[in-house]
Amino acid sequence: MSEHHELGFIRKYVFSVDHKVIGIQYAITGLLFLLFGFCLMMIMRWQLAYPGEALPLVASWLEHSNKMPGGVMGPDLYNAFGAMHGTIMVFLGVVPLAVGGFGNYLVPLQIGAPDMAFPKLNAASYWSYFVGGVIMLGSFFLPEGPAQSGWTSYPPLSNLAGTGQTFWLVGMIYLVASSLLGSVNFLVTIIQLRAKGLSFFRMPFFVWAQFVTAFLLLLAFPPLQAAAVFQLMDRVVGTSFFLPSGLVVGGTPLAVAGGGNPILWQHLFWFLAHPEVYVLILPAIGLVTEVIVNNTRKPLYGYKTMVYSLLFLGFMSFVVWAHHMFMTGMGTTMSNFFQATTMIISIPSVILLSCLIITLWGGSIRYTLPMHFALAFLPMFAIGGLTGLPLGLAAADIYLHDTYYVIGHFHYVVAPGTLFALFAGIYHWYPKATGRMMNQVLGKLHFWISFLAINGIFMPMFIQGFAGVSRRLAIPNFYAHSEAVQGTNVFMSISAWILGAAQLLFIINFFMSMKTGKKATDNPWDATTLEWATPTPPPHGNFLQEPVVHRGPYEYSVPGKATDYIPQQVS
Partner 1 sequence: MDSPSIYGWWLPPNLSAHGAIIDQLIIVMHVFMVALFVGWGLFFVYCLIRFRQRTGHKARHDLPHSKVPKFIEVAVVLFEAAILVGLSYPAWSKLRTAFPNKENATNIRIVAQQFAWNIQYPGRDGVFGRTDPKMVSDSNPIGLDLNDPSAKDDITTLSQLHFPVDKPVLAELSSKDVIHSFFIPVLRVKQDAVPGMKIPIWWEATKTGQFEIACAQLCGNGHTTMRGFVSIDTPEEYAAWTAEREKELTP
Site residues (CB under 8 A) for partner 1, limited to 469-528: 470-475, 478-481, 483-485, 488
Q: Is 14 in the site for partner 1 (CB under 8 A)?
A: no
Query: Which 261-290 residues touch partner 1, going by CB under 8 A?
Result: 261-263
Contacts of 263 (CB under 8 A, 6+ apart): 325, 328, 329
Q: Is 334 in the site for partner 1 (CB under 8 A)?
A: no
The β-bridge partners of 252 are 249
Tell me which of 150, 197, 222, 539 binds partner 1, using CB under 8 A.
150
Can you tell me the distance from the alpha carbon of 338 to that of 342, in angstroms, rounded to the nearest whole number? Answer: 6
Tell me which of 197, 379, 537, 541 binds partner 1, using CB under 8 A.
379
Q: How far is the CB of 365 from partner 1 (least distance, A)?
A: 5
Which CB atom, from 132 or from 524, has the smaller least distance to partner 1?
524
Q: How far is the CB of 337 from partner 1 (least distance, A)?
A: 11
39, 140, 104, 421: CA torsion to nearest 10: 20
Tell me which of 118, 127, 140, 154 binds partner 1, using CB under 8 A.
154
Q: Is 313 in the site for partner 1 (CB under 8 A)?
A: no
Count CA atoms within 13 Å of residue 153 on its CB side.
30
Q: Which residues of 417-446 are buried (b: 16+ CB within 10 A; e: fewer)?
A: bbbbbbbbbbbbbbbbbbbbbbbeebbeeb
Long-range Cβ pairs for the range 557-562 (8 Å, 24+): 557/297, 557/298, 557/299, 557/364
Question: CA nearest 429: which of 192, 98, 178, 196?
Answer: 98
DSSP state of 571: -
Which CB atom, from 150 or from 541, has the smaller least distance to partner 1?
150
Tell me which of 192, 336, 440, 563 binds partner 1, using CB under 8 A.
336
Q: 18-57 mask for partner 1 (x: CB under 8 A)?
A: ----------------------------------------
Which CB atom, from 124 or from 330, has the smaller least distance to partner 1?
330
Q: How far is the CB of 87 from partner 1 (least distance, A)?
A: 14
Contacts of 440 (CB under 8 A, 6+ apart): 369
How far the first Cα of the chain sits from its last, in Å, is 22
Which CB atom, from 14 or from 365, has the smaller least distance to partner 1?
365
Question: CA nearest 410: which of 193, 85, 109, 138?
Answer: 85
Query: Which 77-96 residues touch partner 1, going by CB under 8 A?
Result: 79
Which CB atom, from 12 or from 471, has the smaller least distance to partner 1?
471
Which CB atom, from 59 or from 247, has the smaller least distance to partner 1?
247
Query: Which 387-416 residues touch partner 1, going by CB under 8 A?
Result: 387, 389-390, 393-396, 398-403
Can you tell me the distance from the alpha carbon of 216 to that of 275, in angstroms, rounded to the nearest whole number? Answer: 6
Query: Which 434-463 residues touch partner 1, going by CB under 8 A?
Result: 463
Which CB atom, from 11 or from 297, has the smaller least distance to partner 1?
297
Q: What is the 3-state secondary structure (H, E, C) of 143-192?
A: CCCCCCCCCCCCCCHHHHCCHHHHHHHHHHHHHHHHHHHHHHHHHHHHHH
Tell me which of 137, 386, 512, 514 binds partner 1, using CB under 8 A.
386
Which CB atom, from 120 or from 366, has the smaller least distance to partner 1?
366
How many residues are given for the chain?
571
Q: How many residues bind partner 1 (CB under 8 A)?
A: 100
